[in-house]
Amino acid sequence: MIKIIKITFIFIFITTKLFGNTNENLYQKIDLFGEVLEKIKKEYVDDIDQSEMIDSAINGALQSLDPYSAYMNPEIFQSMETDTKGEFGGLGIEVGMEAGVVKVISPIDDTPASKAGVKAGDYIVKIDGKQVQGKSLVEAVKMMRGPVGSKINLTIRRKGEKKALEKTIIREVIQISSVEAKILKKNIGYLRLKAFNSNSSKQLIEKINNFENKNKPIGYVLDLRNNPGGLLTQAINVTDFFLDEGEIVSTKGRRKIENRRFFARKGDKLKGKPLIVLINNGSASASEIVAGALKDHKRAIVLGENSYGKGSVQSVIPLSDGGGIRLTVSKYYLPSGGSISEIGVAPDIMIEEEGEDFRVNTPTDNQLNYALKLLTT
């Protein structure tokens, strides 16, 4: 009985943190929770691990809020905090949680997942034959990590496909080169931004300056497809390169510190040259800030498919037991005032990927080909 009281106390602590001061109805629900735990302990057919069960209950409370909030027990939290660079391999995908299964936000270019044909919007229902349903996002991510060179089998459900897809992938150390740049036919500057890490804006402006000094392109393509996002500061810096003035993005949350507005500084680095931004379902978070702001200010034509719709900011908050929670603390809003969350950015020109052989930045890339046609005619 002492263990049940302790578990119920922890649940009170978590629900109080989530929903503010308790009230009579909440206390009744917590009493009911304790009663259910007691019934399970006495009458459930198998022995249970009460610690695991309360972890699941806490995580369930958090995941009921949104797909990005989650609980990490002390073991998982510690492993997340520890630098394991070079020891573990990954797949190269940004993931979230939806309907109890892992949803691929974006496969990162030139990573094992991308090469295996994993696509944005895919649902991972099994990992090495084990059901994902019932697992937390953090637990599922941990299952996907492993020694470099080891195999992992993913069972995937994809919209439009009747049968589940099986993907066998070899884990690798994921190293992302965030910026790719080249001059395409008829002197179009192509800038591909794969992620928003700490050096992305610096790398991007170096490429732009190099093009402007040597090639003097007649226009540019900024490719944000399959870019899962990253640092807000980098999204602001990148957007600022293409604007002379105006708001870039605002964030709003419960606390005053989360309510902020960010504005462009004078100086369009392209000096008003034509700009097309490419997005798809794998363009998320910081990518959506850039595309949405440039669209709202009519500085660029946005082309491709509707973006993912991840317009929220998460903070990792340590807990007294050595674990932690990842909690959504604010949301992004575009200059127009519109929210990105679960809506995404709609392109000015909708061009869907065509053909089974479609690959970004290859001759089969019909979206890029269409953008080049617009810029050169």
Q: Is 285 a catalytic residue?
A: yes
pTM: 0.77
Q: Are the C-beta atoms of residues 248 and 212 closer than 8 Å to each other?
A: no
Phi, psi angles (nearest 5°) of residue 54: -70, -35
Active-site residue, selected from the candidate residues 201, 283, 285, 307: 285
pLDDT of the residue at 291:
98
CATH 2.30.42.10 location in the chain: 83-170
Q: Are the C-beta atoms of residues 313 and 235 closer than 8 Å to each other?
A: no
- The β-bridge partners of 102 are 97, 124
Q: Is 271 a catalytic residue?
A: no
Q: Are the C-beta atoms of residues 236 and 180 closer than 8 Å to each other?
A: no
Alpha helices in 167-269 (DSSP H): 200-214, 232-240
Active-site residue, selected from the candidate residues 69, 296, 312, 365: 296
Q: What is the distance between the terminal CA atoms of the chain, rounded to a whole angstrom?
A: 77
Instruction: Kindly tell me the burial class for residue 225, based on how many C-beta atoms sit within 10 Å of its own C-beta (0-12, 13-18, 19 or more).
Output: buried
Each residue's pLDDT, cut to its tens digit, for the chain (377 residues) gives 444 444 444 455 555 555 555 567 877 888 888 888 889 888 999 988 888 888 888 888 888 898 888 888 888 787 665 433 334 578 988 888 887 889 998 888 888 998 999 998 999 999 999 999 878 887 888 889 888 999 999 999 998 899 999 999 999 988 777 899 999 999 999 999 998 988 899 999 999 999 999 999 999 999 999 999 989 999 999 999 999 999 999 999 999 999 999 999 999 999 999 999 999 999 999 999 999 999 999 999 999 999 999 999 888 899 998 989 989 999 999 999 999 998 999 999 999 998 777 888 888 999 999 999 999 98
Distance from C-alpha of 325 to C-alpha of 31, rounded to nearest angstrom: 24
CATH 3.90.226.10 location in the chain: 179-314+328-376
pLDDT of the residue at 261:
97
3-class secondary-structure state, position 8:
helix
Distance from C-alpha of 155 to C-alpha of 131, rounded to nearest angstrom: 9
For residue 223 the two structure tokens come to 């490719």
Residue type, 258: E
CATH code of 179-314+328-376, in short, is 3.90.226.10
Active-site residue, selected from the candidate residues 55, 310, 312, 330: 310
Q: How far is residue 206 from each of residues 183, 203, 213, 228, measured CA to CA in Å?
A: 14, 5, 11, 22
pLDDT of the residue at 2:
45
Domain 83-170, what architecture? Roll (2.30)
Q: Are the C-beta atoms of residues 226 and 277 closer than 8 Å to each other?
A: no
Task: Taking each helix axis as running N to C, give the angle between helix 286-296 and helix 232-240, from 0 to 180 degrees, rounded to the nearest 10.
Answer: 30
- The β-bridge partners of 235 are none
pLDDT of the residue at 79:
67
Instruction: Kindly tell me the burial class for residue 236, based on how many C-beta atoms sit within 10 Å of its own C-beta (0-12, 13-18, 19 or more).
Output: buried
Distance from C-alpha of 173 to C-alpha of 275, rounded to nearest angstrom: 34
- The β-bridge partners of 123 are 103, 157
Q: Is 163 a catalytic residue?
A: no
